[in-house]
Homo-oligomer: A and B are copies of this chain.
Amino acid sequence: MPTPAIPAIVLLSGGLDSATVLALMRRDGFAVHALSFDYGQRHKEELRYAALLAQSMGVASHRVVPIDLAAFGGSALTDPQLSVPETGLAPGIPITYVPARNTVFLSLALALAEVLGARDIFLGVNSQDYSGYPDCRPEFVQAFEALAQVATRLGDAARGPRIHAPLQFLNKSEIIRLGTSLGVDYGMTRSCYQLDAEGRSCGRCDSCRLRREGFQKAGIADPTPYQGS
């Protein structure tokens, strides 16, 4: 009898990074339980791509958890009063930063891990994210893993839950090359903060800039549909 696959959780946004992580997990033979969040993001359309990815990559389960981060305000991604900048990356923490977002997402992943008995949680944070967002930095991932060791009943066993950020030290073009080699169809992913109802990207927000540049530097054709083109 074949060994049953080891269950693992992935935070799946519908973007390029988490799609690549999912492909890595598939290659490594995990039974992948994908977790997405409907958190009041203005680019809610991304959830449609998360579902597409989950299905096409054959995950064991995909859950979309509603969570009202918009009620707290404070981010251009969830607050309709604030606008998404299109002027290029500025120093400091961007206005698109959502307070404690990855802490909240990983906490819910930890809850699910505990219920499923999964000891591995994956997320797609990477070096270009952590230049701006505090909760994408390696020290954040390490601190969350330390918390996970004592926060659940899993931590009482020999090995508590591990938090894996396999793209941590890669930039966008390296991620795109890796994913392409793993067979990721990036046409099925979206990264834009201002995605329209037809799933077309603005091409101007920080996230679009990083993505576009990534394909250029990787020398790989960009499959992203852009608005007005």
Partner-B contacts on A (CB < 8 A): 63, 65-69, 71-74, 93, 97-104, 106-108, 110-112, 114-115, 134-135, 137, 139-140, 143-144, 146-147, 149-153, 155-156
Contacts and interface: CB of A to CB of B under 8 A. Distances in A.
**Residue with the greatest number of chain B CB neighbours at <10 A, chosen from A72, A135, A155:** A72
Nearest to A79: B115
Given A115-B99, A151-B135, A65 B71 contact: yes
Copies in the complex: 2
Nearest to A92: B153
A114 B137 CA distance: 17
A102 B66 CA distance: 18
A41 B102 CA distance: 24
Contact of A63 (B71, B106, B107, B149): B71
A134 B153 CA distance: 6
Contact of A104 (B98, B102, B108, B139): B108
B150 A73 contact: no
Contacts of A134: 150-153, 155-156
